[in-house]
Amino acid sequence: MNVIAQPPTSPKRHQIVPSGLLGMIIFTLTEMMFFLALISSFLIIKARSSVWPPLDQPRLPIEMTAFNTILLLLSGVLLFKGARAFSKKETSSKSFMLSAIVLAAAFVLLQGYEWVALITAGLTLTSSSLGSFFYTIVGLHALHALIAIGMLIYIYRRLLMGTLTESILWTTEVFWYFVVGVWPILYWQVYLA
């Protein structure tokens, strides 16, 4: 009787951090460096300018954008509450997450309204260094916000279907918190400084 020797099995590895989450953490770290480079360039150009902002350019809407910043920060808080409710298997996670999506969408829509008003007032990509940097920095943030909103909608749909996993939720949270967290810095440097 021939006994076929089985190859030794390797012990099952325990995953410390889900792959999607690790990938998103690495991605957001590179995006942070990207935004830091944009802000650094903006600050250098601004420091070299004798008059800032340029006199012939419209002023940025500080008050409206402050309100918009509050909406974005609240969206982050609601996602946090929704994620904690999800981990405790509470049904309130649905309302928290839906509210986070609504506030996130309101943020982007108000940014769009702001852009239309600024373009109408004469601030364009080619009107000045302020316009170039403003639309590049804020526009790239808006693009990140739109992508993150898509991710929020995706996890909300999975939540409704009962197929949302903590790994997918964590991955989305990291990206949304990046979008929410980088905005106050952009607001401070572009609008207020």
110-149 confidence digits (pLDDT tens): 999 999 999 999 999 999 999 999 999 999 999 999 999 9
pLDDT at 13 over 90: no
Distance between CA atoms of 180 and 143, rounded to whole angstroms? 13
d(CA 134, CA 82) in angstroms, rounded, equals 33
- CB within 8 Å of 113: residues ≥ 6 apart: none
Check whether 1 has a pLDDT greater than 60: no
The pLDDT value given to residue 7: 72
pLDDT at 126: 93
Grouping H, G, I as helix, E, B as strand and the rest as coil, residue 56 is coil
pLDDT class for 107, splitting at 50, 70, 90?
very high
